[in-house]
Amino acid sequence: MKHIPSIQRSSSQHQKLAALRQAHQDWNNAPDVLTRLTRRLSTTLSLENQLGILAEELGAIVPFDSFNYRHRIARRDFVFATGMGGPHRCEYRLNLEGASFGTLTLHRRKKFSEEELQGVEMIISAAICPLRNACQYIAIEQAALTDSLTGIPNKRAMDEALERAGQLADRHHQDYSLILCDLDHFKAVNDKHGHVVGDHLLQLAAEAVERALRTSDSVYRFGGEEFAVLLPHTSDENAKDVGDRIRKAVSGLEIDCGGTRLSITASCGVALHSEGESPEQWLARADEALYRAKSQGRDCTRVFPTIN
């Protein structure tokens, strides 16, 4: 008699597991579009892949000529587009629990019917949670690669970018230049005016450097008061011009410190990527050029001699 409860529990557990297996099989084999959509979306956290799945499943129910998604995630614009547009469109702002997760726009040559619009809304309602998760995943990834003070990419992001840039430069035999930019006498600013003023100046400097660049260029906070700028398809001669432009932008900054105006200058070191060199070697040459700028009076740009 003592063993009967154990046997009953075992039998009950077996039934539950069998029911679970059946439910999982039914879920995997369900023919309806909503189950299939959520099942497919659950297989990836890539927002781009999810949007491709959504466009495919949606197009099978409500034909469209173009599918466009736009969202700003962690200070960066994410855009996904497929197809060519038409004169008629429907647009949906994707919101969940008070938060926005982008805008989805469909275009086509023929006007959408009310029944079709209802179908689109039902499909979006099934996709919104996976899309939110993918957006949050990107935000978390970007946070790990972003400097918390200035909002620009950090040294970890720079290391990854230098690795990629070096590989592309070698593979395609293209010019990639690196600038290291250091704010002159920044320690004196902190010592005299405090770290609150120093932090504010770093934020303004990061914004000024970004404004001085092309959209294809990228800036990173290398550490302390030092910034790194990566310039694709740019010779060291042209990179020197960019360095001078950065210095001009930084020198134009002013902060009101209780009746006195605080300004600062910057020094820049430039190095063109040399074929086959490692990111560490490339960075060391830019740092050497920066050291020369510092030792030769500051507020200037120096270029490391090309060694190709």
How much is the pLDDT for 223? 87
C-alpha dihedral over 227, 232, 236, 242, to 10 degrees? Answer: -50
How much is the pLDDT for 307? 55
Is pLDDT of 75 > 90? no
Q: What is the pLDDT of residues 199-211, one digit of tens each?
A: 999 999 999 999 9
How much is the pLDDT for 5? 53
Give the residue-averaged pLDDT of 167-175: 94
CA distances from 229 to 4, 152, 157, 222, 234 (A): 74, 11, 12, 9, 12
Domains of the chain: 31-144 (3.30.450.40), 155-303 (3.30.70.270)
Q: What is the pLDDT of residues 268-302, one digit of tens each?
A: 999 999 999 999 999 999 999 999 999 999 999 99
- Categorize the per-residue pLDDT at 1 as very low, low, confident or very high, splitting at 50, 70 and 90: very low
Q: What is the pLDDT of residues 137-159, one digit of tens each?
A: 999 998 999 999 999 999 999 99
Q: What is the pLDDT of residues 104-130, one digit of tens each?
A: 999 999 999 999 999 999 999 999 999
CA distances from 219 to 98, 182, 216 (A): 33, 13, 10
- What rounded mean pLDDT belongs to the chain? 91
Q: Which of 57, 225, 226, 277 is catalytic?
A: 225
Give the residue-averaged pLDDT of 192-204: 92
Can 57 be counted among the known catalytic residues? no
Give the global pTM. 0.72
3-class secondary structure for the chain? CCCHHHHHHHHHHHHHHHHHHHHHHHHHHCCCHHHHHHHHHCCCCCHHHHHHHHHHHHHHHCCCCEEEEEEEECCEEEEEEEECCCCEEEEEEEEECCEEEEEEEEEECCCCCHHHHHHHHHHHHHHHHHHHHHHHHHHHHHHHCECCCCCCECHHHHHHHHHHHHHHHHHHCCCEEEEEEEECCHHHHHHHHCHHHHHHHHHHHHHHHHHCCCCCCEEEEEECCEEEEEEECCCHHHHHHHHHHHHHHHHCCCEECCCCEECCCEEEEEEECCCCCCHHHHHHHHHHHHHHHHHCCCCCEEECCCCC
Is pLDDT of 244 > 60? yes
How much is the pLDDT for 20? 79
